[in-house]
Structure 1
Amino acid sequence: MTIKTKLKRFFDMEEEYEEREVAVEEEAGEQEFSPALSKKKKDKPNVVSLSAVSQGQSSKVILLEPHSYDEVQEIADHLKDRKAVVINLQRIPKEQAKRIVDFLSGTVYAISGDIQKLGEHIFLCTPDNVDVSGSISEMLQE
């Protein structure tokens, strides 16, 4: 066998190999877009293990009693971390308490949460993953 024939065979085999690769890729492409396969993917429901959900996140409620307006950012950080916060504003001047409630109202709005008044100076701020039901308006009237 001469070098010329060896080279010819080498290049002929390489072209044949490339043709096979192209044919295999085309077949794979046709299968990928076939309606039968897409139906199978759509019919298969998403299954999530309940144990994985319960272990992954635990809900927390943080109780805070700020002594100045400077602590409001810490409260907002808890809300951003998806933790509910109960705030007692009884021991803070009325003007600062109003500023804190205004700031937290904006924070809660930004994270699609909720803020509720529980008592005269007590507020509950919740992120969007916490649902609060019921009301205690009767207690507020007394």
Structure 2
Amino acid sequence: MSMKNKFRSFFTLDDEYEYVEEAVEQDVEEEQEPKTKSNRKQDNVVSLKSAKSSSKMVLSEPSSYNEAQDIADQLVNRRAVVINLQRVDHHQAKRIVDFLSGTVYAIGGDIQKLGAQTFLCTPDNVEISGQISEMISQETDESYKRW
């Protein structure tokens, strides 16, 4: 072979082979990427049964301020809690509501008054819609004045 042919074969054929090899490697990488992406999507799938079973509501009727921490633990465990404060004297009821208000604020939840001495505390995973009728809120306003 002449020097000219060697020079031409060096630049033309090697370039083609490199290009083909790179293209093949890119095709292989492109084929692997969708598989890993689809695996990632499958990791994010949550069964509706598990989501349904994790939603719970707890009814609580504390008899003293000491039970406020148990109610707060329920909220931290992402459970909604309805609290009836009829069995607690006025001073302790205020302290319980203050404590739970702080807990709800810390976890990004919500607290709403349902009745004269009834509250609903919810964590951030529970959405509340609707309102209590005005008749009940008028009764609670009157009882609030007594608080």
Work out the CA distance in 2 between the residues paired with 1:55 and 1:134.
26
Bigger fraction of residues in helix:
2
Deviation of 1:55 (Å): 2.4
Aligned partner (choices 67, 71, 81) of residue 75 of structure 1: 71
Count residues with an aligned counterpart: 110
1:140 equivalent in structure 2: 137
1:108 corresponds to which of 81, 104, 111: 104
TM-score normalised by the chain length of structure 1: 0.65
Q: Percent identity?
A: 59
Task: Please give the per-residue CA displacement for 1:16-39, whole angstroms capped at 9, x wherever unaligned.
Answer: xxxxxxxxxxx9xx97xx8x5898
The answer as to 2:71 corresponding to 1:66 is no
> What is the TM-score normalised by the length of structure 2?
0.63
The alignment's C-alpha RMSD in Å is 2.8
Show structure 1 runs of 5+ residues with no match. Answer: 1-26
Per-residue deviation at 1:141?
1.4
CA distance in 2, matches of 1:40, 1:49: 17
Q: Which amino acid aligns with 2:49?
A: S
What 5-or-longer segments of structure 2 have no aligned partner? 1-21, 140-147
Partner of 2:144: none
Structure 1 position 121, deviation (Å): 0.3
